[in-house]
Chain A
């Protein structure tokens, strides 16, 4: 006689349902065991998370392009600069993730920092255009 079929661990789900939120260390009410020692993160299958992240980078690049298109109406040079950021963002999303020697992945931290600096710079540029630029009401008609 065989025992009942293995139902699997209750905390395991398909990888495309997103990662479960980790609870406080040592306070798991379900009593789920921590991953066994030697479970290398590099060997874990991220499932479709990599695809979703890649698509997210692509949407961000498209957002930059859309903003550049709007700014083109107000200021040609600034619009072209913002439009040029879009392919850079797209390329940043394609950079292969590699763990640093220690701590956070250096490539991830750097490229996210670049995105932040780019958005702040674009916002400042738009602020200058909004304050000092010549308004063109009805330009989208």
Chain B
């Protein structure tokens, strides 16, 4: 399956045309929607954190681009999380309709890996800044 067809499958009209299965229990549908919204809020929190780091923190002495090194990945991660959350909502809803097991989520892995990477970058920036 090509990337273009995968992206096209995420569009609302295409998702609605998936007629397999039956309408799931409304509680499952609501829970799936709440999970999407929770990830969306996490994405917004990452964006605001990244912008806050770049715009509001005082510069790190000796590391002129330190704020950008920390803040820009957070903003990009926020956008990635938002798109992934929608893709997972479509996949989960499809699985619920067909009575299949819910697909494994990659989002916790993405979030944990990126936050760990940013924490490492932050530590290095702080150490370099403190050493100068």
Contact = CB atoms under 8 A, between A and B. Distances in A.
Contacts, number: 181
A137 B59 contact: yes
Contacts of A110: 12
Contacts of A46: 26-27, 30
B88 to A, nearest CB: 11
Main secondary structure of the interface of A (DSSP, over half): helix
A119 B15 contact: no
Nearest to B58: A137
Interface centre among A71, A120, A131 (most CB of B within 10 A): A120
Interface string A126-140: 110111010111111
A138 B82 contact: no
A41 B25 contact: yes
Given A116-B86, A126-B50, A130-B55, A57 B79 contact: no
Nearest to B37: A56
A24 B100 contact: yes
Contacts of B45: 63
A138 B58 contact: yes
Nearest to B98: A25
A99 B23 contact: yes
A22 B51 contact: no
Contacts of B43: 119, 123
A129 B109 CA distance: 28
Given A19-B25, A49-B26, A140-B56, A120 B79 contact: yes
A8 to B, nearest CB: 18
Given A25-B99, A123-B76, 6 more contacts: A44-B27, A102-B16, A103-B18, A105-B16, A130-B72, A135-B54
Interface of A: 15, 18-19, 21-25, 41-42, 44, 46-47, 49-50, 52-53, 56-57, 59-60, 63-64, 66-67, 70-71, 73-74, 99-100, 102-106, 108-110, 112-113, 115-116, 119-120, 122-124, 126-127, 129-131, 133, 135-140
9 contacts: A19-B28, A24-B101, A42-B23, A67-B51, A109-B15, A115-B82, A119-B78, A127-B76, A130-B71
Interface of B: 10-12, 15-19, 22-31, 33-34, 36-38, 40-41, 43-45, 47-48, 50-52, 54-59, 67-68, 71-72, 75-76, 78-79, 82-83, 85-86, 89-90, 93-94, 96-102
